[in-house]
Amino acid sequence: MSQVTKEDIAAVFRNIQDHICKELERTDELGKFIEDKWERPGGGGGRSRVIRSGNIIEKGGVNFSEVYGKTPEKILNSFGLTEGDFFATGVSIVLHPENPWVPIIHMNIRYFEMSTGTYWFGGGIDLTPHYIDKDDARHFHQRLKAVCDKHDPDYYREYKQWADNYFFIKHRNETRGIGGIFFDHLSADDSKSKEDIFAFVKDVGLSFAPIYTHFMSKNSVKPYGKREKDWQMSRRGRYVEFNLVLDRGTKFGLETDGRTESILMSLPPMAGWEYNHQPIPNSPEANTLATLKKGIDWLA
């Protein structure tokens, strides 16, 4: 059997983008994605799709990219190389809902290849509720564990811990949300072929729509007022801090001359930073803040 090619991977990723956009539009019922096709001066391009002012999604993006060309010097240095070309393709998603009871969600699946033959897959899904609901958290992690267990019994434990460590706002000493799974630099070894890893990454991508449309339908009907919106703005502020200060994907996109508008589509339409805000003790806001810790077993 011939090995899966970068063209095969990009084609599957394009189809996953199409599937997710269709399901989000169906569930939102009002919002429609606007497509913005772009080309990268150094090679390749992508399809940025943005949805705004929907019934449920206030702002979101479902982006596909397929870029290639001369590898930036900073990345070559990190590999200990002096020359070479690169190819990278992926789907990246961030959705910011209108209703504070609906969580923010992020997903990314990606493939990177060097002309030297080096390649790897990466990705993951994580959930950032403005208010943490333990039943919702359990449902989310159960769905992710089912995807992982289909491919390897060790994946969920390993990649959940990786997500806890990665989606951590060091300067706040808090996690960005309730985590999820995160993995990077996956390539073939004695136990897994390239096709095996690609099958796992594809299933992660296909799990996104049923997971998030569940939360859209379930939580968007809950009432909210100014207090909940103010808290949502504060939590969005934390999201912005992580993405601009710590996120490696944002840095990689900017360093490889990616399209700035597509890279920064992850930012919410509005966010807030109240000086030294302290929630009322034992309030839903305080309880959420106290739960933003690493190592929580959400399946217990």
Largest CA distance in the chain: 61
**Could you give the C-alpha distances from 188 to 108, 163, 227, in angstroms and in order?**
20, 21, 50
Backbone angles phi, psi at 241, to 5 degrees: -60, -45
Catalytic residue among 19, 96, 106, 151: 106
Tokens of 109: 């699946």
Of 295, 291, 256, 249, nearest to 63 by C-alpha is: 249
- Tell me how far apart the alpha carbons of residues 70 and 252 are, in angstroms, rounded to a whole number: 14
- Tell me how far apart the alpha carbons of residues 52 and 116 are, in angstroms, rounded to a whole number: 41
Assess contact for 171 and 158: CB atoms under 8 A: no
CA-based end-to-end distance of the chain? 42
Q: What is the Cα 162 distance to its own chain's centre?
A: 14
106 is catalytic: yes
Residues noted as catalytic? 106
